Amino acid sequence: MLGKILLGIGAGLAALTLAFSGRGRRPMLADEQPEPKRRQKAARRLSLLEPSTRAFAVAIIDWSRAQGIPAYLGMTYRSPEEQRKVDPHRTGIKEGEFGWHSVGRAFHLDIRKADNTFDKAAYAIVGAEVRRRGGVWLGDRERTSRAGTPFLDLAHFEYHPGFKKLAQYRGTPLARQELAMAERRAIEAATYA
């Protein structure tokens, strides 16, 4: 009898452990896309990144999930047309100029709490790790938008070692080459999607 009870407790504990070991997982919210579609989208976005940035993004998502932070890849590459459509209150990039998204060296991470709001505390943890690895996170620094209003780019990350600012990168042969490669990747992704 006692053995049976102990066995029952053991099985219960094992089930509990299983339930809590799925770190980074959470019940899907009503307005979220089903997992396969989300994965497909993430794979496509990943393919649009510059290769070293792609590896950087994958490593930071893996690291985040290992910490129990459910990070998902958001927007990555932005075509010149998409760049033109960005809300001037949400970007510091001037009209007609290109940014890190345009060369596949910027990506967004979607990190939300159970109530579907952005998890600012988790962003700060991931942001610190991104900086430690030589990437950029500006989510805790208020910037001035093109429209002249202050904004916070919480979900935005960049990877461009060797170039602190866009101004240093723009006009270099590397920038021209990477712009062309980013556009080619986008054409390929659209053709073979």
Interface region with Zn ion, contact rule CB under 5 A, candidates 26-34, 47-55, 120-128, 151-159: 151-159
Which pair of structure tokens corresponds to residue 181?
A: 């490669």
Q: Report the nearest approach of Zn ion to the CB of residue 63 (Å).
A: 20
Q: For Zn ion, which is the closer residue by CB, 34 or 96?
A: 96
Q: For Zn ion, which is the closer residue by CB, 63 or 151?
A: 151
Q: For Zn ion, which is the closer residue by CB, 54 or 156?
A: 156
**Helix (H) or strand (E) run with residue 42 in it:** helix 35-47
**Which residues are paired to 72 by β-bridges?**
110
Interface region with Zn ion, contact rule CB under 5 A, candidates 15-23, 30-38, 113-121, 156-164: 156-164
Tell me the DSSP string of 41-83. Answer: HHHHHHHTS-HHHHHHHHHHHHHHHHTT--EEE------HHHH
Q: Report the nearest approach of Zn ion to the CB of residue 53 (Å).
A: 12
Q: For Zn ion, which is the closer residue by CB, 78 or 175?
A: 78
Q: Report the nearest approach of Zn ion to the CB of residue 192 (Å).
A: 25
Q: Who contacts 110 (Cβ-Cβ below 8 Å, separation ≥6)?
A: 71, 72, 73, 74, 155
How would you classify residue 116: left for phi > 0, otherwise alpha for psi between -120 and 50, otherwise beta? left
Task: Out of 156, 160, 178, 182, point to the residue binding Zn ion (CB under 5 A).
Answer: 156
* Chain contacts with Zn ion (rule: CB under 5 A): 156
